[in-house]
A and B are shown apart, each in its own frame.
Chain A
Amino acid sequence: MPADMEFFIDPHRCIGCHACEHACSECETHKGHSMIHIEYVERERSVQTVPVVCMHCHSPTCADVCPADAIKRSADGRVMTARKPRCIACSNCVLACPFGVPKMMAEFELMMKCDMCYDRTSTGRKPMCATVCPSGALVYAPRAEVESMRKRSRPTNTFKFGEQTITTKVNMMVPRDRPAEHLDVTAAIHDHPADELIALIVLTDAPTPEGVA
């Protein structure tokens, strides 16, 4: 794998076409099962979609919670699908992942997840999803190229999840001229969110639905 190639997700550019899902499920190592999925954000108010691939955390929570020691990170920082002989299909990783990536394949009794197309990227090719994305929401390119092409965005790889700060191998494109905002998604768990922001409302001037104050 060329060391300068990196994965960038730009949800702003995602048009929700699901091409990445279909390309992913063409892969011979998990034929018919997509390891990427499209998330709809505030679907009743917005058409915003977000492609979700494994972020390949530097400290993988899925591996930390695995009771069977089945989830491993490769030497170049890719968190792999659970090892078949070890995985006990307990779904701890599915519940623990801050990004909702691991999928429990009940028919195989195995957790399967995106490994950034290890078979392709290790031989210098792009991941399946990045080759088909028509709008550049999924990009596999050198960082310098992305920074020069996307004048209004900058990549970040730091996320907050409750008390936990997560750094990842995969980058998320955020507005270049805005300060970093960390949304605490676990705040929604608490009954009385003190001053923590829960909702991810992006359209401030959206019409208020009838009957809602």
Chain B
Amino acid sequence: MTPPIDEDPRTYPDHKALPDQPHWRQDFPTDVPEDDHVARREFVKFLVLTSGAFAAGQCWIALAGPGRDRGPFPRKPVATTAELEERRTVEFHYPDDHEPCLALRLGPGRYVAYGQKCSHLACAVVPHLDRGELHCPCHNGYFEAEGGRPVAGPPRRPLPLVHLEVTDGVVYAIGFEPRTV
């Protein structure tokens, strides 16, 4: 169907032409064709400002990234080895009191720990050590228990790694490493 012809004139209460109308009439036109019209200058302004914002955001990320979460980390007891051997999974908070982490027993004397927040959208991952994996129920993301690397679902980055140290039968968390690859 061809667009209808504009047979009805646009008039204004004071019967002056559009150039003599106050600016708000040109900024907020009543007619749909004028309202939908995007001038070249507006479009270029939009492009420059949004792409500038994106570029500035990338610079900000690049500058803020290296200084983040780089120790020194506290040395914090997680569990005793006996406890970890028995329960196989221990929840703790590291490096502060709010960041949830998981310590896992993969085999006799083999302990690993990861941040519990899924690298996709920060849901809490659930360990399934019998299958050797961690499952994020939000979007069905899977991580291998061995290295914390994503194996299925939306996550693309591994879970943050928590460095452990075993001294005198006590497992200590000594470092926190957010990983991108």
Contacts and interface: CB of A to CB of B under 8 A. Distances in A.
A3 B31 contact: no
Contacts of B4: 1, 3, 74-76, 122
Interface residues of B, number: 19
Chain B facing A: main interface SS: loop
B12 A59 contact: yes
B36 to A, nearest CB: 9
Interface stretch (A34-42, A63-71, A174-182, A186-194): A63-71
Interface in B1-55: 1, 3-13, 15, 28, 30-33, 35
Given A1-B4, A76-B4, A69 B28 contact: yes
Given A73-B31, A73-B32, A75-B31, A3 B12 contact: no
Interface of B: 1, 3-13, 15, 28, 30-33, 35
Chain A facing B: main interface SS: loop
A102 interface: no
A156 to B, nearest CB: 16
Given A71-B30, A74-B32, A59 B5 contact: no
B32 A75 contact: yes
Contacts of B10: 58-59, 73
A56 B31 CA distance: 12
A77 B5 contact: no
Interface in A1-43: 1, 3
